[in-house]
Amino acid sequence: MADTSRAARSESGRIARVLEQDSANLLEAWIAAQSKVLSARGSISANELRSQSREFISLLQKAIASGASSVDGPDWDDVRGFLADLSKSRAIQGFSPRETAMFVFSLKEPLFERLGAAANPDADTRTTDVWNASLILDELGIYTTEVYQKSREQLISRQQQDLLELSTPVVKLWDGILALPMVGTLDSSRTQVAMESLLQRIVETGSDVAILDITGVPTVDTLTAQHLLKTVNAVHLMGAECIISGIRPQIAQTIVHLGVELGDVVTKASLADAFRLALSRTGRTVTRIDAHVNDRA
Amino acid sequence: MERIPILRMGQFLIVSIQVDMHDRLALTLQSDLATRISETGARGVLLDISSLEIVDSFIGRMISNIAGTSRVLDAETVVVGIQPAVAITLVELGLSLPGVRTALNVEKGMAMLRHATGFDGHDAAPGSTPLSESSDDSAAV
């Protein structure tokens, strides 16, 4: 047991030695290799790339020199932290997964060349060294990709959240009349957010009528209709009236074909019709002030 | 034993739930209210649940039952002050309280009761809607 660990230590020591002694040449060769992958974009400056690469080599050298065999161990914290930061920043800058992963993988070629060129006694040792170095770099490369993917997912979920909040504005059309123009596909989470903000606004403004405008909803299926009915019911429970407007001819047909039961929900073809109804429900009418305008029209 | 007070105001009874509703309290309220309606001959019941933050299916059914009982005893029920979260919960539970009148606040609830029962001198003309409570803001747009 002790023998193998000492052997591992001496093997990793050889990799560390190569990294330390030949670091300047290695850096140049590595940067050249990276530039080949990155050439298409050029969204990172040469200086930045150089400093990143230099830092990684020195961190890697320290970690390997520590002799820890597992990349998950505490000795590798610095390396993993560095790669995580790099990967996150590249994910945000819009690098492709390939470009991000190649940061680590492109080190293989120059490193293996140097491991081979070093004064090693026999082919077996050389193969072992290359194998060990390859294992380490593979692990780190996969780690980088994982972090990259996670950052992208976080970015996407944040954008989704933003979209949710932005896409459900409750507008006040008149005293006591609110409208909720819905745009995009209605799924349960969006309906939930829309419903919450609408009900909240009804309480704040003491509104009597809420108009649900679905002009911007591309398709209505049974599920969507169910979401709409839920919203209408909730508005009724709050003591306000709910009118659905903006039902396009195709959607009206779909609703009938699907056999969706809208019950006694008031529906109007256009927002204007719904607004007119809402005004009359709150005891108001729209009239022209100027009789001449009326005549000409 | 803890009870929810039932206040009489003219022809109407007012119930304001200000405490956490538990099942026994709900049952007591139902029977108390039925008794009071028949005693007083009230024509309307206003149930204020604006302080209620948590509802379950039992409380939801209680509200339906109160409305049903009142209707049998010839009194209209208006439930007022349902919080947004409560409304969403009720809808998700599938309890949309059919046949129960709702209003945003006590003031609108009272106006609705007056209209529905035709009491308090404010007999609305036939055809006008329950929402037009003040005629002076119906200025031309």
A271 and A146 within one domain:
no
Closest CA to A153 of A165, A161, A142: A161
Would you state the pLDDT for residue A278? Answer: 94
Closest CA to A191 of A155, A229, A221, A159: A229
> For A21-46, what is the mean pLDDT?
76
A120 and A246 within one domain:
no
User: C-alpha angle with apex B54: B53 to B56, nearest 5 degrees?
Assistant: 150
Q: Which residues of A touch B87 (CB under 8 A)?
A: 199, 234-235, 237-238
Q: What pLDDT digit, counting tens, does each position of A61-100 carry?
A: 888 887 766 777 788 888 888 888 888 888 878 788 888 8
A199 and A92 within one domain:
no
Which has more confidence, A20 or A82? Answer: A82
Q: Which residues of B touch A196 (CB under 8 A)?
A: 84, 88
CATH number at residue A153: 1.10.490
Tell me the backbone φ, ψ of residue A16, rounded to 5 degrees. Answer: -60, -40
Contact B45, B70 (CB under 8 A): yes
A50 and A127 within one domain:
yes
> For A254-259, what is the mean pLDDT?
86
A191 and A144 within one domain:
no
Could you tell me the pLDDT band of residue A60, with boundaries at 50, 70 and 90? confident
Instruction: Write out the two tokens for B15.
Output: 């119930």
A7 and A140 within one domain:
yes
Would you state the pLDDT for residue B33? Answer: 92
A178 and A156 within one domain:
no
Cα radius of gyration (chain B)? 15
Contact A118, A136 (CB under 8 A): no
For chain B, give every domain's residue range.
6-117
Between A3-7, A100-104, B108-112, the lowest mean confidence (pLDDT) is in: A3-7
Strand pairing partners for A241?
A209
Of how many residues is chain B composed? 141
End-of-domain residue from the set A163, A195, A227: A163
How would you write the pLDDT of chain B (141 residues) with one tens digit per residue?
688 899 998 889 999 998 888 888 989 999 999 999 999 999 999 999 999 888 888 888 888 899 999 988 989 999 999 999 999 999 988 888 887 899 999 999 999 999 888 865 444 444 444 444 444 444 444
Q: What's the domain range around A106?
A: 2-163
A81 and A34 within one domain:
yes
Q: Which parts of chain B are beta strand (E)?
A: 6-9, 12-16, 44-48, 76-80, 101-103
Contact A230, A195 (CB under 8 A): yes
A244 and A192 within one domain:
yes
A122 and A82 within one domain:
yes
B6-9/B12-16 β-pairing: antiparallel
User: Is domain B6-117 in CATH 3.40.50.300, yes or no?
Assistant: no
End-of-domain residue from the set A137, A163, A189: A163
Nearest-neighbour CA in chain B from A100: distance (Å): 45
- Is the Cβ pair A236, B102 closer than 8 Å? yes
CATH number at residue A272: 3.30.750.24
Would you state the pLDDT for residue A39? Answer: 58
3-state DSSP assignment of residue A129: helix
A205 and A137 within one domain:
no
Would you state the pLDDT for residue A291? Answer: 62
Of B97, B109, B129, the CB nearest to A237: B97
Q: What pLDDT digit, counting tens, does each position of A181-240 carry?
A: 988 888 888 888 888 899 999 999 999 999 999 988 888 888 888 888 889 999 999 999
Nearest-neighbour CA in chain A from B87: distance (Å): 5
Question: What Å distances lie between residue A284 and A246, B47, B125, B137, CA to CA?
Answer: 22, 29, 16, 8
Q: Is the pLDDT of residue A293 over 80?
A: no
- Domain tally, chain A: 2
Helix axes A249-258, A222-237, angle to 10 degrees: 100
Task: For residue B136, give every residue at least 6 positions away whose Cβ sits within 8 Å of its Cβ, in sequence order, or none.
Answer: none
Would you state the pLDDT for residue A271? Answer: 92
Test the B interface: residue of A233, A241, A285, A289 with most B CBs within 10 Å: A233
A182 and A131 within one domain:
no
